[in-house]
Amino acid sequence: MIPHAFGHVAGVAGESDASSGGALALVLVVLALATVAATGLVDRSHPRNPIPRRRIAALLIGLGTVAIALVSPLDGLADDAYSWHMIQHLLLTFVAAPLIVLGAPITLALRASPAGFRRRILVPALHSLPVRVLAHPVVGWLALIVVSWAIHLTPLYAAALEDQGIHEVEHALLLASGLLFWSPVVAADPVPWRLDHGARFAFVALALPLLSLLGVVIYSAPAPLWADYVARAAATGTDPLVDQRLAGAIMWAGGDMLLLAGLGFVAGDWFVTQRQRAARTGRALDHRARERAGRLADGPT
């Protein structure tokens, strides 16, 4: 049975903290400027092999999505309504995270770094045991599932509503688990563990029912889960149970649609890879046939 109304009533620490929001906005701006500067550096150094613009666009849009989720008016709305809070969380895990990994930030950092720094610092770090463990697909898959369920259905959620520090840790966990989950799916960066397309498809497909179930559990709860939202709903004249059911529906339907988009990405990449492989095989066979024909033509008559 789901506990009724976790948390204390009318906590105030969940209110948007302007100073922390400003600091995060500054960090995101710095990262965006660093991305543009690194791209320009690589393009000037390697004009025949520039950074693909689609990757830079994905990375910048991903950072922008983090800003929309955490430093826009959406963050204030999320303090007062579970449904807005769920939208915020989906943006972090299922929109911002895959876009950031699609932008291949590790590849950009490797290409833009001086050779000595890359050889002595970046490459050893990428091959270190902690990175190899964190980058393992099983770790990323479990991280997203465990973090999603723990944050939305344990007292940690109520604690985050009342304490700004815990709230920020919650958001960091959601984004980090999303990055770990989507990294082997997108496979844009050089990661220690590689999955073939079939494994990548199964990786996402197996996560879909568990995350759908989370939405169903929230939607089906017979009473409000969080006392903070009950108090805030009373102040705004809204029904906390209706808002909670909307949040569950957003997690259920919205999460499913975004994960299905991930499956579509993997299937599309799989199809393109197979066509490219078939084209290379065809060119190789044609080359061998021309060589054989040439040898026959040059042979004795």
Q: For every one of its 301 residues, what pLDDT tens digit does the chain have, with 9 covering 90 and above?
A: 444 444 444 344 444 456 677 888 999 999 999 999 999 999 999 999 999 999 999 999 999 999 999 999 998 888 888 999 999 999 999 999 999 999 999 999 999 999 999 999 999 998 899 999 999 999 999 999 999 999 999 888 888 888 888 989 999 999 999 999 999 999 899 888 889 999 999 999 999 999 999 999 999 999 988 888 888 777 778 899 999 999 999 999 999 999 999 999 999 988 887 887 777 777 766 667 676 766 666 665 5
End-to-end CA distance of the chain: 89
- 182 close to 262: Cβ distance less than 8 angstroms: yes
Closest CA to 10 of 82, 74, 79: 79
Rounded to whole angstroms, how far apart are CA atoms 178 and 61? Answer: 16
Q: Give pLDDT, residue 283.
A: 72
Give pLDDT, residue 276: 78
**How many separate helices (H) and strands (E) can be counted in the chain?**
16, 0
Q: Calculate the alpha carbon distances from 144 to 19, 153, 221 in Å.
A: 29, 14, 22
Backbone angles phi, psi at 6, to 5 degrees: -60, 150
